[in-house]
Chain A
């Protein structure tokens, strides 16, 4: 038996109360139908763990609703019976955010997979919570080839809504993060009400978040603790005819803030990302900064390339230089220009099926220190250093991704990765940054560091919306 199987714990909640379990099971079957509920160990197993380092945690039921009415009924039931409820999209945060902390029901949203409307004139798409990034990409390419959405660097099964709610970012990161692109949502509150939020609450059209009171914030970044988003309206952007990548290399992370600043100042980029990896050997010690550009004509593209080509001379000095890579290997280009970029290749570093990364949002001037200390942390934990970073909008912040690839079949290796993650979260907070899509441990560190009155306000909001504490409990706790 694989080692992990023995660590799978029997669920905490109601395991011995056969009567209750049966009643609950039957109630769920009544709502979604027998095929879409399970409390079989094999099914629950998959929902109790993810590809990251999180230790598995027990799940009592998994349920797959199809309609918002089904979601509502499940929520009302969970509220009545005080059963924890954890909504789940693609489950690809790798930080265990959709693995319940206190058992209960996992609500897999992926059957709610309709793209409801694409409005070309006002450039938005209304979709259900289970629509995957891949499905939206493909749908737009086929039916609305002039439009695109900002695509995160993640496997295509990640959901659009899930990514918005953790404030993801993607191919159009210069437009901001994806929660910035939200026009509205439909949400089922923990107390069971279905609320449209945004212009859709006062109009048939989902074209704008404001200027109504911004209620969407109550569901963004909360990791499902305040309600279940069942629909969203996401802004779309023009899809230009051409895309290319320009790559810069440095050998000193101290150059990065200035380089990023100059690149942002040109306003040419769709996306600016940085990376380093210690294998293959020839890549060690080099920082790569990739700029994605796009345009409708070759003239525009040539122009953008020529502007970017002039950036290196404005940075650094004779000892520390920024170099433009004249010839970028096609395979590298493809890796970055593909939609979505095939990030999983980095994940397979250790060839062990395990991967997690610590994404720290930080001011750009902290990047050099983060880089150096990140290398130290990786090495101290017996790992290779690998990072993939993203510049957000006009250089307003950097998502610094410290990648840890590990072998799932080797518990010691997983433990090393776990420790490296913990050290990195600590580093991030020390630098004045904040862990993105923070795992439980990082959440605790954040809350401890938080202004106490802000902490109190957070709890107040949670209690207001979820008086019985059923929504993904254990997250953002005080």
Chain B
């Protein structure tokens, strides 16, 4: 069977490659995971092409790994068992924006940046919740890994903002999920039996999402942030409780870094917005008044550092601080463990993270984001790595492993976990739940061609 020839027949010669250079690029990402060889790279344009590729792969038992931006840094778009990497980014059309019902329907390759720009230009009163990631990340990729964006606290996480999907099942059928299965309008996930969950959080093992309908939100006219600092980690759950009781934030970052020195304490950065100045000022004032109760243990940061934080964290998407932090080792590599933990666990997770970082001779680099209205915290425990130094990469891989174990030990779960960390989670999970997962995966993907090796022991 001439797989290459068949793929060329489906997408055209320019959009398939099994040459060393393409395979090199698609076999690795900027994180610490070991490279893993892909056999083919295919860049489809239509859902029919995707379908034909899946049917072929099913027939020939070739693994298929769908890829969006490829920016998870944990290697989730790098195949574990070779096969075809399906780069979805040519499927880049924004199909519809419905202003009244506030949603956008788009193909799987639409980037965060493109949607943001399209809305800014054509629907300036609407926005989507944009993750703290390079704008090359795709909307669909972020949704299916259950990502979160700049409206996390006020509006929820991105997998909750989906009204509908079109998916290609591993067996080749194209299904519509949500209201679009029954109606011309992609306005609602409910009230049909939920099938979308089968493609959210499964890391591509159950099918390929080719379209999504994403909820949009009113865009405020005024936005700003405040920066508070504290040296008392134990106060954190109380402070988070109080600030979320106000119920006036769009988003909350928590930052603590060994470099630059002024970021070494705990920095709380709430983002606040308003439709007019009065509302906005009221919110700012209420937040500032909040710290009075803490009698100097939590204080407002003003001046040069506040300005730097504003420049780094306010723009959507935020660029400077995260990006600079990634380049601290000037090594072109970066990866972080995303530990999602209950709020009361954050102090423990933070102290233990610092310990692990120092154990491996790394500066600590903690970047957290509050999820939804104060229900859990995504603790990003990050490491820079030097791609030019294999020893350094391995060291960081081990640090990440320790960090994952620590999170699970503390009762958290791991966000967009690299394959070794997934294994740790599966080993910890209730065996009945694992069994149910496997049954679902087997039912949808009987030949186990979809991104195999993920969610396994």
Binding site for B on A (CB under 8 A): 119-124, 146, 166-167, 175-177, 179-180, 183, 189, 193-197, 199, 201-205, 207-208, 210-218, 220-223, 225-226, 235, 237-238, 240, 257, 261, 264-267, 296-297, 299-300, 303, 307, 361-365, 393-397, 429, 432-438, 446, 449-451, 453-454, 456-458, 460-461, 464, 476
Q: How far is the CA of A393 from the CA of B184 in the complex (A)?
A: 21
Q: How far is the CA of A240 from the CA of B197 in the complex (A)?
A: 33
Partner of A205, one of B220, B247, B275, B411: B411
Q: Enumerate chain B residues within 8 angstroms of A464, measured Cβ to Cβ.
A: 439-440, 443
Q: How far is the CA of A263 from the CA of B297 in the complex (A)?
A: 39
Q: Enumerate chain A residues within 8 angstroms of B343, measured Cβ to Cβ.
A: 121-122
Interface centre among A120, A177, A365, A397 (most CB of B within 10 A): A397
Q: Is the CB of B413 within 8 A of A202?
A: yes
**B368 interface hit (Cβ, 8 Å):** no
* B443: min CB distance to chain A, Å: 4
A221-B190 in contact given A119-B342, A175-B156 (Cβ < 8 Å): yes
Q: How far is the CA of A189 from the CA of B440 in the complex (A)?
A: 13
Q: List 20 A-B contacts (CB under 8 A).
A: A167-B190, A176-B160, A193-B435, A210-B201, A210-B413, A210-B415, A211-B145, A218-B194, A218-B197, A226-B193, A296-B245, A307-B279, A397-B188, A436-B190, A446-B182, A446-B192, A453-B169, A457-B169, A457-B173, A458-B193
Partner of A267, one of B173, B220, B286: B220
A121-B237 in contact given A195-B433, A214-B200, A460-B443 (Cβ < 8 Å): yes
- Identity of the chain A residue whose Cβ is nearest the Cβ of B454 in the assembled complex: A213
Q: Enumerate chain B residues within 8 angstroms of A476, measured Cβ to Cβ.
A: 193
Binding site for A on B (CB under 8 A): 98-103, 125, 145-146, 154-157, 159-160, 163, 169, 173-177, 179, 181-185, 187-188, 190-198, 200-203, 206, 215-218, 220, 237, 240-241, 244-247, 275-276, 278-279, 282, 286, 338, 340-345, 371-376, 408, 411-417, 425, 428-430, 432-433, 435-437, 439-440, 443-444, 455
Q: Is the CB of A438 within 8 A of B191?
A: yes
Q: Enumerate chain A residues within 8 angstroms of B154, measured Cβ to Cβ.
A: 267
Q: Is the CB of B375 within 8 A of A122?
A: yes
Q: Enumerate chain A residues within 8 angstroms of B340, measured Cβ to Cβ.
A: 199, 207-208, 210-211
Q: How far is the CA of A190 from the CA of B276 in the complex (A)?
A: 53
Q: How far is the CA of A96 from the CA of B200 in the complex (A)?
A: 31
Partner of B432, one of A195, A225, A264: A195
Q: How far is the CA of A394 from the CA of B154 in the complex (A)?
A: 11
Q: Is the CB of B244 within 8 A of A238?
A: yes
- Identity of the chain B residue whose Cβ is nearest the Cβ of A366 in the assembled complex: B185
Q: How far is the CA of A333 from the CA of B63 in the complex (A)?
A: 60
- Identity of the chain A residue whose Cβ is nearest the Cβ of B425 in the assembled complex: A202
Q: How far is the CA of A434 from the CA of B181 in the complex (A)?
A: 10
Q: Is the CB of A211 within 8 A of B432?
A: no
Q: Is the CB of A361 within 8 A of B190?
A: yes
Partner of A303, one of B156, B197, B279: B279
Q: How far is the CA of A396 from the CA of B432 in the complex (A)?
A: 36
Partner of B159, one of A121, A210, A215: A210
Q: How far is the CA of A183 from the CA of B374 in the complex (A)?
A: 13
Q: Is the CB of A393 within 8 A of B215?
A: yes
- Identity of the chain B residue whose Cβ is nearest the Cβ of A146 in the assembled complex: B245
Partner of A213, one of B101, B202, B342: B202
